[in-house]
Amino acid sequence: MKKIIIENLKTLLYAIIIAVIIRSLFVQPFYIPSSSMEPNLLIGDRIFVTKYSYGYSKHSFPFSPPIINNRIFYKEPRRGDLVVFKTPADNRTDYIKRLIGMPGDQIQFINGEIFLNNNRILKKPIKTENKIRCGSNDYPTKSYQETLPNGVKYIAVYKSVGTLLNTDKYIVPKNHFFFLGDNRDCSKDSRYLSSVGYVKRINIVGKAKYIFFSNDTIKGSVFKFWNWNNSMRLDRFFKKIK
């Protein structure tokens, strides 16, 4: 009996070690709890994030142990990537946002337009009107296809009334990045210097790659299997993230 218990404990230990290695070095699942990335990522989406895309830091590992002082095997993120990072405020909370500003870039909102290094980011209106979630409320928005200087395209939404028009100029420090949420008027991101601000290179966790599961939490819990036909977003299963 004692031998069986020991063998079972060994098996459990090996399984935990393998899981930690996979989670730290290869792929980690994340849950989307807020609407800051709508319409591209929805509340209830579960995504796979690749840890190897930008190399590794202490934040690649559970509980961020101080075993690496900087990044190793570093690969520069690409402008427009959807990136998971630890917030500078506590170096613990995971956020996912779109990378807009690279080190040395200047970003500013002027009359509702985004200027990157004094050049306006191309913004093409999309005719469909959407209601986008923000907290417990929905509000009407205008949708645009934005195109970054490197050709990356994505959908961003702005409030139809009361959208953010003007900001100060943001200058991204060396070894830092500037992130925005695609739901521009319902996102705590690099515009808010006291809570998020510029994100250090070491704080990057990984790149969002795929949605592997999605359940609309407003329409029903995933545990209420009798309501799956209303809550499950089957069209989002195994969807590549852009």
Question: Which of the following is catalytic: 35, 36, 190, 231?
Answer: 36
Q: Is 174 part of the annotated catalytic residue set?
A: no
Phi and psi torsions of 20, nearest 5°: -65, -40
- Answer yes or no: are the C-beta atoms of 41 and 47 closer than 8 Å: yes
58, 86, 97, 200: the catalytic one is: 97
Cα separation, 205 vs 189, whole angstroms: 16
State the Cα angle at 28 between 27 and 30, rounded to 5°.
140
Q: Are the C-beta atoms of 54 and 207 separated by less than 8 Å?
A: yes
Indicate if 97 belongs to the active site. yes
Q: What is the side-by-side strand order in the sheet with 153-159?
A: 122-134, 137-147, 153-159
Q: What residues are labeled active site?
A: 36, 97
